[in-house]
Structure 1
């Protein structure tokens, strides 16, 4: 589902993870939320529930890029990792633009210790493509027809 800045994503994920636990399923639930979304109180209520129900089958991937739909983050959310820990979650912070770190973090998230996991991904939208990195509102990247050739050249330059 897409919950976006309404802050509904983690609550739905907690419900699904709890249902799996109650039904004796070994399934894992992954939810991707953003730093804009964690400004919502319902996200923290869901975080508290995930810990209270010992949902070690739940992993929150928290994309922290410092922007939300309309620009910069409205409320300062730092120190975000400490907040997740305070709510009873296991936490790891990584470079969310580094695929090797993402793979390692997902492997770490498979550990079972009776508490949910949060992976804080420090990201930069459009990473590696200067044209996209420079955009002010990178959440709404629409590549215009006249930009395709430029972006292809940027990618080719990286692989040269």
Structure 2
């Protein structure tokens, strides 16, 4: 998938990415998919991104939390926060357990919105409802985000 580095046309980029969607080397190469997703996002190819990442969830690797965390992070980097959230909430549907690791990935994606109300609501409801305990990484994500937002007293 190294050819994606020079591609500018989102249709061609999508086709190359789709053709390699079953290639184990590409599936496990987080940089190849990240590059493709960021290029598609930069050209408004959000439907393509959704198609590629939804397909990735259907693979056997989709049952591994680390693999799903990568999908959540890619949705976040593409600015597709709702898709990242839906992936987190739906992890159990494809046999994947949610832990603080996937919660932190979703939290990180959420922080890109810089919406204090949404971040606080997520932190108040989700860990309690799902029985996931926040960790040091969770707290650091929140503190860093509040500081970046200029809300130093919250940080």
Q: TM-score range by the shorter chain?
A: 0.3 to 0.5
- TM-score under structure 1 length normalisation: 0.34
Higher RCO structure, 1 or 2 (CA under 8 Å, sep 6+): 1
Q: Structure 1 or 2: larger strand share?
A: 1
Specify the structure having the higher radius of gyration (Cα). Answer: 1
- TM-score under structure 2 length normalisation: 0.35
Q: Structure 1 or 2: larger helix share?
A: 2
